[in-house]
Structure 1
Amino acid sequence: MTFSELNLNAELIKALPADITTPTLVQQQAIPAILHDADVLALANTGSGKTLAFGLPILQMIEAKKSDIQAVIIAPTRELARQTTQVLQPIAARLHIKTAALFGGIDLAIQAEQITQHPQLIIATPGRLLALCQEKAINLSQVKHLVLDEADRLLDMGFWKDIQSLITVIPMQRQTLCFSATLSDDLTNQVRNVLTSPVEIKTHNSNSVVDGINEQLYLVNKGSKTQALISILKQHSDKQALIFINAKDGADTIAKKLAKAGINVKTLHGNKDQASRESTLNEFKQNSVQVLVATDLLARGIHIDALHVVINFDLPENPAVYVHRIGRTARSGKTGLALSLVCHAETEILQAIRDLTQNTMPLETLEHFPVTDIPSIGEKKRAPKDKQANRRSAKKQSIKDFQSKTERNHSNHSRSK
Structure 2
Amino acid sequence: MNEKSGFGRFGLQEPILQALDALGYHTPTEVQEQVLPLVLQGQDVIVQSQTGSGKTAAFGIPLCDRIVVEETRPQVLVLTPTRELAVQVAEEVAHIGRQKKVRTLAVYGKQPIHIQLRQLKQRVHVVVGTPGRLGDLVQRKNLDLSGIRFLVIDEADELLNRGFLEEVEAILGRIPQERCTLLFSATIPDRIREVCDRHMRTPAKVAIRSTEPTPEQIRQYWIEAADDWKFQKFLEVLEKHAPANCMVFCNTRERATQLADRLHKQGLESCLLHGGMPQKERLRSISSFKREESPLLVATDLAARGIHIDRLDLVVNYNVPTELENYVHRIGRTGRAGESGLAVSLVSVHEKAKWLEIQEYLGFTVPLEESGGPARPPKAGRALEKLKHKSPHKAPSKAAEKHRSVHKGISRIRINAGKNKKMRAGDILGALGSIPGIQAGDIGIIDIQDTCTYVEIFNDRGAQVAEGLAKTTVKGRTVKSTLLKN
TM-score (norm 2): 0.70
Work out the number of aligned pairs and report it.
370
Amino acid at match of 2:8: S
* Matched-pair contact (CA < 8 Å) for 1:244–1:312: yes
Deviation per residue, 1:293-342 (Å, 9 max, x gap): 01123212522232100112223333333222222212222111112223
Match of 1:143, SS? coil
Distance in 2 (CA, whole Å) between partners of 1:185 and 1:224 is 44
Counterpart CA distance in 2 for 1:195 and 1:277 is 35
* 1:5–1:184 distance in 2 versus 1, CA, 3 Å: same
Structure 1: how far apart are the matches of 2:258 and 2:89?
31
The answer to whether the 8 Å contact 2:50/2:211 transfers is: no
Greater RCO (CA < 8 Å, at least 6 residues apart): 1
Partner of 1:14: 18
Q: What is the rounded CA distance, in whole Å, between the counterparts of 2:328 and 2:313 in structure 1?
A: 16
Contact 1:16 1:91 in 2 (8 A): yes
Counterpart position of 1:73: 78
Which segment is superposed worse, 176-185 or 128-137?
176-185
Contact 1:219–1:363 (CA under 8 A) maintained in structure 2 = no
Q: Do the aligned residues in 2 keep the contact of 1:99 with 1:119 (CA within 8 Å)?
A: yes
- Using the TM superposition, name which of 151-160 and 177-186 deviates more: 177-186
1:52 equivalent in structure 2: 57
- Name 2:104's counterpart in structure 1: 99
Aligned 8 A contact 2:246 2:297 in 1: yes
The 2-side partners of 1:314 and 1:122 are apart by 37
Where 1:16 maps in the other structure, the secondary structure is helix
Shift of 1:221: 3.3
Shift of 1:120: 1.6
Counterparts of 1:238 and 1:348 in 2: how far apart (Å)? Answer: 29
Deviation at 1:59, TM superposition (A): 1.2
TM-score (norm 1): 0.81
DSSP-derived class of the 1:270 partner: coil
Q: Check 1:223–1:3 CA distance in 2 against 1; reply closer, same or farther (3 A cut).
A: same
2:145 to 124, 133, 140: 140
Q: Distance in 2 between matches of 1:189 and 1:325?
A: 29
Do the aligned partners of 2:16 and 2:100 also contact (CA within 8 Å) in 1? yes
Which protein shows a greater Rg? Answer: 1
TM superposition shift of 1:291:
1.4
2:372 aligned residue: 368
Deviation at 1:128, TM superposition (A): 1.4
CA contact (8 A) 2:50 2:210 kept: no
Q: Which amino acid aligns with 2:109?
A: G
Q: Which of 102, 105, 115 is the matching residue for 1:110?
A: 115
Residues 322 and 353 in structure 1, CA contact (< 8 A), matched pair in contact too? yes
**Deviates most, 24-33 or 283-292:** 283-292
Asked if residue 5 in structure 1 is aligned to residue 6 in structure 2, the reply is: no
Establish whether residue 27 from structure 1 lines up as the match of residue 32 from structure 2.
Answer: yes
Task: Output aligned runs, 1:248-397, within 5 Å.
Answer: 248-354=253-359, 356-357=361-362, 359-369=363-373
Moved more, 177-186 or 64-73: 177-186
Q: Is the partner of 2:62 in helix, strand or coil?
A: helix
C-alpha separation in 2, matches of 1:191 and 1:230: 48
Q: CA RMSD in A?
A: 2.5
- Aligned partner (choices 180, 195, 200) of residue 200 of structure 2: 195
Please state whether the residue corresponding to 1:48 is helix, strand or coil.
coil
Q: For 1:61, which of 50, 62, 66 is the aligned residue?
A: 66
Matched residues in 2 for 1:192 and 1:341: separation? 44
C-alpha distance in structure 1 between counterparts of 2:39 and 2:202, whole Å? 13
CA contact (8 A) 2:244 2:295 kept: yes
- Please report how far the alpha carbon of residue 51 of structure 1 lies from its aligned counterpart in structure 2 after TM superposition: 0.8
- Please tell me the residue identity of whatever aligns with 2:108: F
CA contact 2:264–2:270 (8 Å) conserved in 1: yes
Task: State the partner residue of 2:88.
Answer: 83
Task: For 2:270 and 2:18, locate their aligned partners in 1 and report how far apart those are by CA, in whole Å.
Answer: 40
Letter in 2 for 1:167: L
Contact 1:148 1:177 in 2 (8 A): yes
SS of the residue 2:206 aligns to? strand
C-alpha contact (below 8 Å) 2:331/2:343 kept by paired residues:
yes
How much does 1:243 deviate?
A: 0.6
Structure 2 unmatched ranges of 5 or more:
376-486
* 8 Å contact from structure 1 (residues 228, 369) kept in 2: no
**Farther off after superposition, 145-154 or 295-304:** 295-304
Moved more, 217-226 or 202-211: 202-211
Q: Given the alignment, which residue of 138, 153, 156 partners 2:161?
A: 156
Determine if the alignment matches structure 1 residue 127 to structure 2 residue 151: no
Give me the whole-angstrom Cα distance separating, in 2, the residues matched to 1:131 and 1:356: 39
- Residue identity over aligned pairs, in percent, reads 35
- The answer to whether the 8 A contact 1:182-1:207 is kept is no
Residue in structure 2 matching 1:233, options 238, 248, 262: 238
